[in-house]
Amino acid sequence: MIDKEKIKKAVREILEAIGENPDREGLLETPDRVARMYEEIFAGLHCDISKSIKIFKENEHQEMVLVKNIPMYSMCEHHLLPFIGVVHVAYLPKKGRILGISKFARIVDMLAKKPQLQERLTSEIADTIVEAVNPLGAAVVIEAEHLCMTMRGIKKPGAKTVTSALRGVFKLDERTRAEVMMLINTR
């Protein structure tokens, strides 16, 4: 689990290292605040995602399901700065197995709440859906702004990184892939 005392000590040391006084009034509670924040934003490190997935039996539905614009934030593992954006998730169920709609957002949240790379997160979401319901196909597209590009380095606010992960028919069938991308891009 998260060692909040260790985080508090480390934050205090960082404040000292940048030339701040961790004992001044505005910073007195900062180490504790950061420790509690890390416990929340890195909660995905210590959870079993399979316990949050609900599968329903539905023999009639075999059409594409798309959930668009799921808000997402995660922490870039290279700089420990946030990347923030939206996730679009689609799958084509096999007869008899569908995933509860709210579970898409839960999967996104749980996998994003750890030090992450956008590329890996995109694949992990797709693979989790494939593992859970064994669909005919799954597609995940993430559009995100990385604060490591906005605040430091190249300093390009507003630049979006787009990643995709395609599984099954979304990867193999050009028409199915075109359909899901058209639906994702329809505003």
The residue annotated as part of the active site, out of 5, 46, 58, 78, is 78
For 154-176, the pLDDT digits (tens) are: 999 999 999 999 999 999 999 99
- Residue 169 is part of which domain span? 51-185
The residue annotated as part of the active site, out of 79, 143, 145, 179, is 79
**Phi, psi at 153, each rounded to 5°:** 60, -115
- Do 96 and 170 fall into the same domain? yes
- Do 68 and 18 fall into the same domain? no
Whole-structure pTM value: 0.95
- Do 120 and 142 fall into the same domain? yes
- Do 29 and 63 fall into the same domain? no
- Do 79 and 169 fall into the same domain? yes
- Do 57 and 27 fall into the same domain? no
For a pLDDT cut of 70, what percent of the chain falls above it?
A: 100
pLDDT score of 7: 98
- Cα–Cα distance between 119 and 165 in angstroms, integer? 8
Give residue 159's identity as a one-letter amino acid code: A
* For residues 144-149, average pLDDT: 96
Question: CB neighbours (10 Å) of residue 29?
Answer: 10
Is residue 47 part of the annotated active site? The answer reads: no
Query: Torsion angle of alpha carbons 93, 68, 148, 23, nearest 10°?
Result: -100
- Do 63 and 155 fall into the same domain? yes
Considering its fold, how many domains does the chain have in total? 2
For 24-56, the pLDDT digits (tens) are: 999 999 999 999 999 999 999 999 998 888 888
In a domain, 46, yes or no: no
- Do 35 and 55 fall into the same domain? no
| Nearby residues of 37 by Cβ (< 8 Å), 6 or more positions away | none
CATH of the domain at 20: 1.10.286.10
Identify the residue whose tokens are 């890996």.
Answer: 120
Integer angstrom CA distances of residue 64 from 44, 95, 118, 149, 150:
28, 12, 24, 35, 36
- Do 82 and 34 fall into the same domain? no
pLDDT score of 34: 98
